[in-house]
Each structure stands twice: as structure tokens, then as C-alpha cells.
Amino acid sequence: MTIDQFNQQAKVVLNQFAADLTGGQIDQTRYFGKKGLFTQLAKQIQQLPSEKRGQAGKLLNQIKRDLTKNIAATAPLNQATQQSIDFSLPGNKPKVGHLHPITQAINQISRIFERIGFIRVRYPEVDWDWYVFESLNMPPNHPARDEWETFFIDRPDTTGNVAYDPKQLTKRHPKMIDGGKLVLTTHTSNGQVREMERLGKPPIRMINIARCYRRQQDATHTQMFHQFEGLVIDKGITIQHLKGTLDYFAKEFYGPKAKSRIRPFHFRFTEPSFEVDFSCHICHGTGFVNGQKCKLCKSGWHEVGGAGMVHPNVLKAGGIDPDQYTGFAFGWGVERTYTLREGLNIDDIRHFYNNKVKFLEQF
């Protein structure tokens, strides 16, 4: 054996040791036991020419010192073995990125509804007019559609091929007609009839969270936004269940003191229809803070979205018998729901999509 070969073998042991070090505590016997790696290396010295043994011995001593010291350091932290530490030193933080606030909101919302048996689904964002409006009891050209500020896809409209008949809604189903109008979904409610079709029959407990699009843009509206839609259909579903679910969500999402309430409203696809309010976290629904009008809500409540009992025509459009089943649905903006949380008084929802790093890094 030459001294070079001996050195090469020593290097193998040291590399092995370096690798072991990354794995935490090292057993002494792995190196110094009877068949230990160091012990075996040390035995090789006998095969060297005698004039080289002194050089090899020095190297072995050096390696032994290093191994012993480093093996001790891998033992569980023991104050006695630690050298003095400067506890005033700043930490060396790992680089951590951030989930977008909308993702954080969606995760929390999903979890809350999944706990009471809702199944999350995903449906098209570019969908037939039929699912977005018509099956939801909104005939073509109905004034109720005005509020939706709809984007249309540039392509021929063939919806007119079958005449609209409110009693035979399914006759105009896209499967029956040649395509039809394509729209960007203005709300997640296109998932309602789609979910009825997917499951075939109740029970249905759906939560549909998706990007939506409307033709408007200002401090409180972006052309793209997110909604979440709940749909429950079964035998014996009443307004009490809708109210119970809304209140459960309010308390889970905003804290145990939060309250919800419903007020009359009108949507074509629910009857009765409601507007949903959550109590303000600043004044807890009273509208007053220390005798002064609450500056955040001005009335004690924040309007967050719409809800209602599924209209019999919508059940029919989804192939469900309205004489047997009832259901409720609700749909709100994710951005608005999220910014009503304590400490998130974001005055301009465009921040969510401008992607300024200074904004995103806060979440």
C-alpha cells in the first residue's frame, strides 16, 4: 500500500463522517467500535512501508481528535458542553414566501363548510348562458340580468334556436340546443344546476369557490373576483337550516361573538330571497362605540351577500322534484368576506390583483 492510497481511504472515512453529521446524533461505535470505520483505517497502517508510518500516524491522530470532538457535539444539547453563546445575536431567518390572501381565505372557508359535510366542487368559468342564467329562472332579456354586468365570448349565438318556455326549462338545455351563448360566469351559481346534474339526486351539500367576472371596475369592484356558493338540497330543508348555517359560518370565520341576520331581497333563483349581514367586529352589531356611531359599519352590520330557498323552477331545471325536496343556497364575494375580518380594513380590493410585493408580503 502506498501513502497516497492510505490518504485516499482516510478521505473516504472523513467524507462518510461529514455525511453522517447531517443526520444528527452519531453512535461512537460506528467509528471506534471493533469493526468501526476509524478502527479499520487505523489497522491499515501496518501495511505501509515503515518510513511512511510516522506521517500516517499524525494523520490518524488528527482524524481521531476531529471525530471525537464532533461526535460529542452531536450528543443532545447539554449546557455543560456548550461554549458561551451570545443570545443577543439576531436570528438567521429562512426565506419564507407567502400564500396569497385569497388562498388563505379560501382554505379557511372550505374547511369551515367541510366540517359540516359540504363537498367542494369546481365548475367551468366559461359556461353556457343556460347554467349561468336561464336554468336559474332568468329568461333571456330579463331585467334581472342587468345587475350581473356580463362578459360574453365573441362567437355566434344559437340560443334562439329553441324558444324559451318557462314551463319546459330543460328543453333549452345546452345538450338539447346547438351550443348557445357563452359567458364568463358572473357568479358561482352556475354550479347549482351542474351539481344537481352531477349527483342526480339529493342529498346535496355543495361549496363552490371560483373566479367570477363582471364588467365593472372601481375601488370595490374588479373585473375578476372570487365567490363562494353553498347549496343544500334534501327533504325537509327549511329557512331555519339556512339561518343556522349562516350563523355557524359567522362564528367560525369571525369569532364566537359574531352574529348573522337575513333581510328580504329578491333573486330570481331563490324564493324567499335574502340579503345576508354579519355583525361588525368593532361594535358587535350595536352600531355604536363609546356612544359614537361606529366608523367602520355605521349601522352595526356589514352586508356580505345573498341567500335564499332554492326556487322550485331551479330544482326542476336540475331534474329534482320540488314537491319532495327543498333547499337553500347562498353566495358571497371572498374578498369582501375576508376583508371584514378584524385588522383587514383594506380600502381598495384592487390591491388583491395588483400584486405589489409590499402588499402580498404582509399576509
Residues of span 103-132 touching other proteins by CB under 8 A:
103, 107, 110, 116-117, 119-122, 124-128
- DSSP-derived secondary structure for 157-210: --GGGS---GGGGGGG-TTTTT---EEE-SSTTHHHHHHHHHHSSS-EEEEEEE
Asked if 360 interacts with other proteins (CB under 8 A), we say yes
Among 48, 102, 304, 349, indicate the residue that binds other proteins (CB under 8 A): 102
Query: Cell match 328543453: residue?
Result: 171
Q: How many residues at the interface with other proteins, by CB under 8 A?
A: 98
Among 188, 326, 337, 339, indicate the residue that binds other proteins (CB under 8 A): 326
Q: For residue 14, what are the CA distances in angstroms to 64, 67, 292, 327? A: 10, 9, 74, 71
CB of 353 to other proteins, least distance (A): 6
Enter the DSSP assignment of 298. Answer: S
Q: Which is nearer to other proteins, 86 or 154 (CB)?
A: 154
* C-alpha cell recorded at residue 125: 368559468
Among 58, 266, 293, 295, indicate the residue that binds other proteins (CB under 8 A): 266
Q: Which of residues 30-69 bind other proteins (CB under 8 A)?
A: 40
Q: Which is nearer to other proteins, 87 or 275 (CB)?
A: 275
Q: Which is nearer to other proteins, 240 or 290 (CB)?
A: 240
Q: Which is nearer to other proteins, 80 or 357 (CB)?
A: 357
Among 239, 282, 289, 346, indicate the residue that binds other proteins (CB under 8 A): 239
* C-alpha cell recorded at residue 318: 336540475
Among 52, 53, 64, 211, indicate the residue that binds other proteins (CB under 8 A): 211
CA distance 96 to 32: 41
Q: Count of alpha carbons within 13 Å of 235, Cβ hemisphere only? A: 1
Q: Which is nearer to other proteins, 88 or 141 (CB)?
A: 141
Cα end-to-end span (Å), the chain = 63
Q: Which of residues 150-189 bind other proteins (CB under 8 A)?
A: 151-156, 158, 174, 178-179, 182, 184
| Closest-CA residue to 183 (of 152, 141, 161, 214) | 152
With beta carbons less than 8 A apart as the criterion, state whether 101 and 352 touch: yes
Asked if 218 interacts with other proteins (CB under 8 A), we say no
Q: For residue 313, what are the CA distances in angstroms to 64, 162, 268? A: 85, 18, 10
Among 58, 65, 98, 295, indicate the residue that binds other proteins (CB under 8 A): 98
Among 33, 57, 203, 319, indicate the residue that binds other proteins (CB under 8 A): 203
Q: Which is nearer to other proteins, 62 or 103 (CB)?
A: 103
CA distance 319 to 233: 12
Asked if 141 interacts with other proteins (CB under 8 A), we say yes
